[in-house]
Amino acid sequence: MESPLTDRSGMLDRLGDTLPGRVGVMRARGLAGMLALVPPLRALRDALPNAQITLVSSGWGRDFARRFSYYIDDYLEVPGFPDFNRGPVSIERIPAFLQLAQSRRFDLVLQLQGCSTAANVLAYLLGSRAIAGHYLKGQFCPDIRRYMLYPVGEPDVRRSLHLLTWLGVAAKGTDLEFPILADDWTSFKHALAGQDLETFSYACLLAPGPEVMELIPLERWIALARGVVARGMRVVMIGHPDNAETIQQATGSGSLVLAGELAVGGLAALLSGSRLFIGLQGGPSALAEALRIPRLVMHLEDTVALTGERTEAYCRDLRWATIMPTEEILRQADDLLGELPFPALTPAAG
């Protein structure tokens, strides 16, 4: 069966005389950054259905590889490598790691971490037959035939897909995904501690950290929570635990605090039953996007990096949220939810 490549001859020309059978994909990011890896992995698996795909990552990458086992066959943990991992550098562990990585005999390594010299050096040291990725003009480029100049300003997902398309791999959409596993539901139910939370009866509000509170005061978040309650929804607080507690105490009316109680999978289980997500752009908003949850995503400036093709149907991006009136944010929520087929709610008595 012919492999579904956009340009088979172009891929063969760039990668050698045979299609890669062992592929390493490099990326070590936080939640939002790892979710942005899903569309490239989907395209790669579709193009190379029989390839052994290894995620070369760290931190949450192990759980990511387990969760997306239908795209990823293996996982290779990178010890603390300078300017690649979060956390301390582990120089003493790097030689053994490189020996293990080189023993995999990769046919292709895709460096999808970005354009940093450190990431490109690491990709080079993995010893692959071919390497592809991005670089900045004037900085280290492992292979000029297979590297593209870094497209500054292009959204993360589209940047990676653009690279794959250039290599000959057809994109299979830009939508994010997140499979919820059985132990995620167990974790979520444990966090609820017996409390009842009816599906689509609540909104998740992401309580901000102290640095955001200087720009959007706590009083505005409390007003948002009260506006949600007035529309007949419970408020479930996630995010910064201390500020979540403060907002919950000021809101009352059955509001619930799960901030700090849930790992990523449990948070996904919570979000999957919510009627609305409100919060700043980041990991939880990307997770809500992957789950197709209606969301108001607040941005501190005018720059918005959208990812999925279906974003507009489920999302309102609120630019300059620092100066947007609370009433306007709530109006956007009304407009968004009014377009979606949710069961009716009874507004709270006011």
HEC assignment per residue over the chain: CCCCECCHHHHHHHHCCCCCCEEEEECCCCHHHHHCCHHHHHHHHHHCCCCEEEEEECCCHHHHHHHCCCCCCEEEECCCCCCCCCCCCCHHHHHHHHHHHHHCCCCEEEECCCCCHHHHHHHHHCCCCEEEEEECCCCCCCCCCCEEECCCCCCHHHHHHHHHHHHCECCCCCCCCCCCCHHHHHHHHHHHCCCCCCCCCEEEEEECCHHHHCCCCHHHHHHHHHHHHHCCCEEEEEECHHHHHHHHHHHCCCCEECCCCCCHHHHHHHHHCCCEEEEECCHHHHHHHHCCCCEEEECCCCCCCCCCCCHHHHEEEECCCCCCCHHHHHHHHHHHHHCCCCCCCCCCCC
Q: Label residue 154 by pLDDT band (50, 70, 90).
A: confident
pLDDT in tens, 96-106: 999 999 999 99
Same domain, 54 and 109: yes
* Residue 238: pLDDT band with limits 50, 70, 90: very high
Are residues 153 and 203 located together in one domain of the fold?
Answer: no
pLDDT of amino acid 14:
67
The span from the CA of 225 to the CA of 220, in Å, is 9
- Whether the predicted pLDDT of 2 surpasses 50: no
Question: Which CATH number is 273's domain given?
Answer: 3.40.50.2000
Among 306, 332, 303, 341, residue whose Cα is nearest residue 224: 332
Examine the pLDDT at 311 and tell me if it is beyond 70.
no
The number of angstroms, rounded, from the C-alpha of 20 to the middle of its chain's C-alpha atoms is 27
Give the best-scoring range by mean pLDDT among 181-190, 208-217, 296-305. 181-190
pTM over 0.95: no
In a shared domain, residues 148 and 189: no
- The pLDDT mean for the chain works out to 89
Share of the chain above pLDDT 70, in %: 89
103 and 199 in a single domain? The answer is: no
Residue 132 lies in a domain: yes
67 and 201, same domain (yes or no): no
The predicted structure's pLDDT at residue 43 = 96
Q: Based on the domain organization, do 56 and 187 belong to the same domain?
A: no
Asked if the model's pLDDT at residue 343 lies above 90, the reply is no
Q: Does residue 98 sit in the same domain as residue 195?
A: no
Clarify whether residues 194 and 55 are in a common domain: no
- The answer to whether residue 344 is domain-embedded is no
Is residue 99 one of the residues assigned to a domain?
Answer: yes
Asked if 45 and 175 count as a contact pair (C-beta separation under 8 A), the reply is: no
Are residue 89 and residue 229 in the same domain, yes or no? no
* Residue 113 confidence (pLDDT) above 70: yes
| pLDDT band at residue 11 under the 50/70/90 scheme | low
| Domain final residue pick, 167, 191, 215 | 167
- Is there a single domain that holds both residue 125 and residue 270? no
pLDDT value of residue 237: 96
Are residues 154 and 248 located together in one domain of the fold?
no
Q: Which of 141, 167, 193 corresponds to the end of one domain?
A: 167
pLDDT tops 60 at residue 274 = yes
Q: Is residue 116 part of a domain?
A: yes
Task: Report pLDDT for 174.
Answer: 93
Q: How far apart are CA 234 and CA 251, in angstroms?
A: 10
Tell me how far CA of residue 221 lies from CA of 147, 201, 288, 331, in angstroms: 45, 20, 19, 15
Is 272 part of a structural domain of the chain? yes
Q: How many domains does the chain have?
A: 2
Assess whether 12 and 153 both reside in one domain: yes
Q: Are 131 and 10 in contact (CB under 8 A)?
A: no
pLDDT at 207: 94
pLDDT of 37 > 90? The answer is: yes
- The answer to whether residue 343 sits within a structural domain is no
Q: Point out the domain boundary residue: 167, 201, 218.
A: 167
177 domain residue, yes or no: no
Nearest Cα to 197, choosing from 122, 254, 265? 254
Q: Give the mean pLDDT of 187-213.
A: 92
Give the pLDDT of residue 15: 67
CA-CA distance, 228 to 11, in Å (whole number)? Answer: 51
Q: What is the pLDDT of residue 1?
A: 41
217: containing domain: 182-338
User: Which single residue is written with the structure tokens 């039953």?
Assistant: 273
Residue at 172 is within a domain:
no
Read off the pLDDT of each residue in 171-196 and give the average, rounded to a whole number.
94
Mean pLDDT is lowest, of 10-14, 224-228, 258-262, for 10-14
**Rg of the chain over CA atoms, in angstroms?**
22
pLDDT one-digit tens code per residue, 53-92: 999 999 889 999 999 999 999 999 999 898 888 878 889 9
Backbone angles phi, psi at 322, to 5 degrees: -65, -25
pLDDT for 295: 94
